[in-house]
Amino acid sequence: MKINEYFEKLKIEVDRHYMFAEEARAVGIDPVSKVEVAQASSLAEKVVGLVSTLYPQVNDKKIVNRILDLEKEFGSLDPGVSLKIAEEISKEKFCKFESHHQAIEAGIRIALAYMTLGVVSSPIEGFVQLKLNKTSKGEDYFAPFYSGPIRSAGGTEAAFSLVVIDYLRELFGYSKYDPSDEEVKRGVHECYEYHERVTNLQYLPSEEELTFLMENLPIQISGDPSEKREVYNHKDLNRVETNFIRSGFTLVIAEGMAQKAPKILKRISKLKEKGFKLSNWDWLEDFVKLQKKLKEKIKKTSGGATYIQDIVAGRPVFGHPGRSGAFRLRYGRCRNTGYSTLALNPATMAATKDFIAIGTQLKIEKPTKGCTIASCDTIDGPFVKLSDGTAKYLKSVQEVENISEKIEEIIYLGDLLVPYGDFINRNHPLTKPAYVEQYWQEELKKAGGNSSLKINFEKALELSDKFKVPLHPSFIFYWTEINFEEFTNLLNWISKGTINENFTLPYAEKDIAKFENGKRALELLGCEHEVTIENVVIKKENAKALLFNLGIDYSDEVFRNKISKLNGLPKKAVLETINDLCKFKIKNKAGTFVGARMGRPEIQ
């Protein structure tokens, strides 16, 4: 069946079932005599249908067509569409309202519905009303009321709704908000009281950030009381309607404007280029600079480990910020991942004693605050050390289950598959990734070659030699994760080794104290090896790769002499030294490590 036929059949069947539903409702048994869930074949229809539940007059084909025309003009989901349709609805261009004030409210809801794709309740329930308050000079200014459901809009769109409202304020000539000192202090303390007495905010701005926002926002963020707790201080203010804590206010200013300021600044800049008048937001650039300054200060004093603040007992930390052994950053996605849904190898989940499962929420270091976990079995799993000293990669859940009681240490947790769109969406600079098979394959194609991702060592040498590309990632090691002293200890130990069918290193009881630093370096390199009664054995394929990285051929009978000469190398970064020794380019296999802790667990 062709795709067009498939969708046509779907439409025919949906229409048929709607007809049955309409006939059933017409009997009059139900409270409402019509089908309340309307069909919508486009975003524009969803937006109009949603807002028409409050204002039936906006259910007009002219508004739908206008949104579609604006999308052609500005682009689909462009913020300019939101501002323009809000302006035209507020001017009652398509339909009339009870008052101009109601028209402005309808315009705000239409804009918010468009920004949230017409699928959440925030335009109806999150934005409650627009109130007019008086400035100290007796002039009207805007005070939008928000409630808890604004959370469903997300921080960016909740914050951008303020830009929409201010755009309409400026358009219709209303005054700017002039906060008093008491109102500023009330806003600051209310956010902290909500965070400490009600529930944790995803982002708790500093007092300096909140004060800056309260003093500069051109409209007054307000809201209905949502909690049974009153604020401790700054009560009975004339222009703040309640002494009770307001969730809508805190969510919009803290998780919205404060947290998403860089993204909002970017949007405003683009809108100004398109000719929209937004003259009261120049201060936002100074606010973003202030945030950067405060973040740098926090990093210097606390290391920037914000994701392990407010940790709950029983929710483990899997890796500290940027610490070797945490999750290795790998760009990419698969069918079951997307924005804020990242993937781990199932073996990693099993190796963490199933603390991590599909659906578990992790709080991570970068690029987002948190994510949901899915699985991908084509990325690297954990590298572990067993109780007998053996070190190996685990590639499947079954393999983990077979040796789970023997795992003594997880040296590397394995890959965290992150879509690069997560970095762009969060306005986070791209971070250096690990050198993986897909990058190698692309470099090979660019050089005129072609190969599958998985190849043997001899084939890897052949391709690197022929096409002058770096050595395949399967045959390089974590050279950036050992220091020069550990490197020299490893060289000293390797010089005592024996080449036969495999590569054997001395590790009898009398040798352990002498070579334990070399053994640890081998573990940190991510080089698989097995510990026997008196030796450490590196299988032939791995041994070939390790020695080749050091510029030594596996069949070279005088390799001990070559290793001994390496001990006199000048002290510098180990990866740089390896590239001096090896015939082919050796890339950084480690890249960036991402720290994480468990957020919400998933019940299995």
What digits encode the pLDDT tens for the residues 541-561? 999 999 999 988 877 555 666
The β-bridge partners of 393 are 383
pLDDT in tens, 451-488: 888 999 999 999 999 999 999 999 999 999 999 999 99
Binned at pLDDT 50, 70 and 90, residue 603 comes out as very low
287 within 8 A of 555, measured Cβ to Cβ: no
Q: Which of 86, 119, 152 is the last residue of a domain?
A: 119
Q: Is 76 a member of any domain?
A: yes
Is pLDDT at 358 greater than 50 in this prediction?
A: yes
- Supply 237's token pair: 């203010």
Same domain, 224 and 130: yes
Between CA 14 and CA 356 the distance in angstroms is 40
Q: Is 457 a member of any domain?
A: no
Longest dimension (CA), the chain: 96
87 within 8 A of 107, measured Cβ to Cβ: yes
Overall domain count for the chain: 5
pLDDT in tens, 57-90: 998 899 999 999 999 999 999 999 999 999 999 9
Q: Is 448 a member of any domain?
A: no
Can you say whether the dihedral through the CA atoms of 573, 575, 579, 585 is positive or negative?
negative
State the helix-helix crossing angle for 79-90 and 261-273, rounded to 10 degrees.
70
Binned at pLDDT 50, 70 and 90, residue 37 comes out as confident
Among candidate residues 407, 463, 462, 417, the one with its CA nearest the CA of residue 440: 463
Q: What is the pLDDT of residue 310?
A: 67
Query: Residue 504's domain spans which residues?
Result: 476-581
Same domain, 143 and 282: yes
SS3 category, 428: coil
The β-bridge partners of 344 are 375
**According to DSSP H, which parts of 482-531 are helical?**
484-494, 512-524
Is pLDDT at 39 greater than 90 in this prediction?
A: no
- Supply 125's token pair: 């329930």
Same domain, 172 and 264: yes
Q: Is 336 a member of any domain?
A: yes
pLDDT in tens, 557-585: 556 666 666 666 778 899 999 999 999 99
Q: Which of 87, 119, 151 is the last residue of a domain?
A: 119
Same domain, 411 and 382: yes
Q: Is 586 a member of any domain?
A: no
Q: Is 443 a member of any domain?
A: no
Same domain, 60 and 157: no
Same domain, 99 and 127: no
Among candidate residues 495, 478, 483, the one with its CA nearest the CA of residue 549: 478
Average pLDDT over residues 89-103: 94
Binned at pLDDT 50, 70 and 90, residue 160 comes out as very high
Mean pLDDT, the chain, integer: 91
**According to DSSP H, which parts of 567-604 are helical?**
574-581
Between CA 161 and CA 256 the distance in angstroms is 10
Average pLDDT over residues 367-396: 93
281 Cβ contact partners less than 8 Å away, ≥ 6 residues apart: 163, 166, 218, 265, 268
Between CA 539 and CA 223 the distance in angstroms is 67
Q: What is the pLDDT of residue 260?
A: 94
Same domain, 174 and 51: no
Same domain, 8 and 58: no
If one compares 382 and 35, the residue with the highest pLDDT of the two is 382
Q: Is 214 a member of any domain?
A: yes
Same domain, 274 and 131: yes
Q: What is the pLDDT of residue 511?
A: 86
Burial 56-65 (b: 16+ CB within 10 A, else e): eebbeeebbe
Same domain, 89 and 164: no
Average pLDDT over residues 324-339: 93
Q: What is the pLDDT of residue 566?
A: 67
For residue 435, give the amino acid letter.
Y
Average pLDDT over residues 45-51: 92
Between CA 255 and CA 65 the distance in angstroms is 34
% the chain with pLDDT above 70: 95
Between CA 543 and CA 537 the distance in angstroms is 9
593 Cβ contact partners less than 8 Å away, ≥ 6 residues apart: 319, 322, 323, 324, 325, 326, 327, 328, 329
Between CA 272 and CA 80 the distance in angstroms is 10
217 within 8 A of 257, measured Cβ to Cβ: yes
Between CA 550 and CA 342 the distance in angstroms is 35
Same domain, 513 and 485: yes
- Supply 275's token pair: 């000719």
Among candidate residues 39, 32, 4, 33, the one with its CA nearest the CA of residue 18: 39
Q: Is 262 a member of any domain?
A: yes
Q: What is the pLDDT of residue 601?
A: 66
Entry pTM: 0.69
Can you say whether the dihedral through the CA atoms of 168, 174, 176, 182 is positive or negative?
negative
Same domain, 332 and 286: no
Burial class (CB in 10 A: 0-12, 13-18, 19+), 597: buried
